[in-house]
Structure 1
Amino acid sequence: MNKSMLVGAVLGAVAVTAGGAVATYKMVSGPEYAEVLAVQPVKEAIQTPREECRDVAVTRQKPVKDQHRIAGTAIGAVVGGLLGNQVGGGTGKKIATVAGAVGGGYAGNKVQENMQTNDTYTTTETRCNTVTDTSEKLVGYDVEYRLDGEVGQVRMDHDPGRQIPVREGKLVLAAPAQ
């Protein structure tokens, strides 16, 4: 056998053995992983409007039947005139009667006004308004990782734990099948 042929055969055997060793190492060592450095949940605020109703007691003034308070004025004038007529005599009696009628009319008007203002009723009404409920929804995770000495960041739909699988140099971001 020739010396160069022998050297070639040995080098070939070494190359085949080395190639087999590298392939075996990759198969035995399993998949590669990126190291997870930090995981931050990402949340979104959800606002939901809803109607909120409650019953409220409401006090209202009863409708007025005599807006100009004619009855109170008339009754007051008659009573005042009668009382004024009881005072004095002659011309003084006439003046006292007129003054009593005017004063009584005014007083009767004010008494009726007070009675009408205080004439109320209470009823229950339903009052509604819109309120907004706020809640949070988890939309993903911002993950900081290290792969081959370089730090990167990616958003994932699940918490990856301590490692992210790497296949053919790329991160495998899908959630593992359950």
Structure 2
Amino acid sequence: MINIQRLIKQLAFVGLTASLVGVSAYSNAGESGYYEGQDGYDYAIVTGVTPIYNDIQVVEPRTQCWDQTVTYQQPSPAGAIIGGLIGAAVGRDAARGYRHGRGHHRHYHRGNKGAGTLAGAAVGAMIGSAVSRHNAPVQYGTQQRCQVVEEFSTRRELVGYDVNYRYNGQEYLIRTDRHPGDRIRVRVDVTPVL
């Protein structure tokens, strides 16, 4: 016949052993519920992830153009030509010679005819062009103006994540370069107390 007391004792022993193994495994796994064994690593539960950005100011040169109304006077070429001819005649006459002195002693000086004619023509052409420009009608036109300007913009750059996690009832914070998900691997160091 089966001894009921003995069977109860055996069942109690098996139940107690199973309970102790379960409690031991839970305490080794910590709060995370994950356990990888005796290699010194475990997983902790991630409680918060905050992306960290760095604002970078970028300067880019840009050409900016616009149309601007301008006024101008177009001198007629006839004014410069007529002024040049008059100036050449005056310069030629001046280069022929001039008299100076009083009474019976008059001296004649001869200059360089070519240089005088050329100088007179140049001065006459400048005067003729200025008179012609002054008398010319005012005209309006559009001209494109451009300048290089520096354009500032701000660009956000992701530099990492601040990760809050909990392991064995303690809260921790670490910065990582990528999003960890819902759990993060941690190194576990067990040191005996003597």
TM-score for both structures, normalised by structure 1: 0.45
TM-score for both structures, normalised by structure 2: 0.43
